[in-house]
Amino acid sequence: MTEEAEVLFERRGALGLITLNRPKALNALTQGMCVAMKAQLDEWAKDDAFKSVAIRGNGDRAFCAGGDIRALYESGKAKTPYALQFYRDEYILNATIKRYPKPYIALIHGIDMGGGVGVSVNGSHRIAGESMVFAMPETGIGLFPDVGGSYFLPRCPGQLGMFLGLTGARLKTTDSLYAGIATDFVPMAHWEMLLTALADGTAPDTAIAGLKDSVPGTFLAEHRDAIDRTFGQGSVEDILAALDAEHTDWAQDTANTIRAKSPTSLKIAFRQIREGKSLSFDECMKMEYRMVNRIVAGHDFYEGVRAVIIDKDNAPKWQPAALSGVSDADVGAYFAPLGEKELKL
């Protein structure tokens, strides 16, 4: 492929190497990238010469900042099929990675958010570099933590997944490891050595063991008791009440953060994270596809993207504007079956 391609594929001995190649766009995913990666992964899965697959992002700033939100916004506003086609192909790619028959190693530096999480956390090995910054900030743009968030968030320790899903909190390397988002810390100076070992056919666990390092204590560890106490409640409203009752700066800041998000997104995210704990990965992806179909047909996603990305006034006008305006029936509609339009994995 040419250097201008959005995603590059390379064979290095026993290793298949994927490089996300949109550094100016922080390696944000397009539908074409998702389709191309799925096709290449399927080829490598059938070829015994490839022992493992690794994925990285080009440029200094990001592994992958997510999906190309502006393109999705414009498609939805114009009512073209691109937005739902993107989500369908992205979720199919996420499921392919989750069930991949060979080790799948993500080398994560800089920003790893939204769609970038989908092509990293769903793999078998998630290697954090010093600059890693993870977040699932979707409730702030009228969306929900998708790309498998229904599956991996409720499987984080305690109530960390609910905390991350509702607040969009950013985690650096140490906290990403604590939460289980990353599996190992390997200093970025050693990444080429890791790739060389993988290319030589060394098993990933063996290659990583010789290069990984330890990290100091974490913010999440310090606040873990409070997070478990407040985010283990039975509703978003109860979580906010529990935070208000804490009377600490952290709790007040956290409550204020949540109150700025889309009320609809908060309530559907709460339900997806609770329900996802007992669902298989494929069931989670099918649930998320039902949800995103309703998001694309709604209001808050477009208003959130307008406020955060288009106009950058950070003053979204959510509809409804308060949690009290989002009924159980409203929430349930996001999870209703799609009939013949269901996601097929």
Strand 111-113: give its sheet, edge to edge: 62-64, 111-113, 133-135
- Of 146, 175, 288, 300, which residue is the catalytic one? 146
Residue type, 337: P
Pairing of β 104-108 and β 62-64: unpaired
Residues 54, 110: Cα–Cα separation, whole Å? 17
User: Is 146 a residue of the active site?
Assistant: yes
User: Is 213 a residue of the active site?
Assistant: no
- Of 115, 123, 129, 142, which residue is the catalytic one? 115
- Cβ within 8 Å of residue 34, ≥6 positions away: 86, 89, 90, 92, 93
- Of 16, 57, 66, 67, which residue is the catalytic one? 67
User: Is 67 a residue of the active site?
Assistant: yes
User: Is 43 a residue of the active site?
Assistant: no
- Of 112, 138, 288, 300, which residue is the catalytic one? 138
Length of the chain: 345
Structure tokens at 172: 């650096």
Residue 42's Cβ-count burial label (10 Å; 0-12, 13-18, 19+) is exposed
Residues 160, 143: Cα–Cα separation, whole Å? 19
- Cβ within 8 Å of residue 47, ≥6 positions away: none
Residues 298, 5: Cα–Cα separation, whole Å? 33
Task: Please list the active-site residues.
Answer: 67, 115, 138, 146
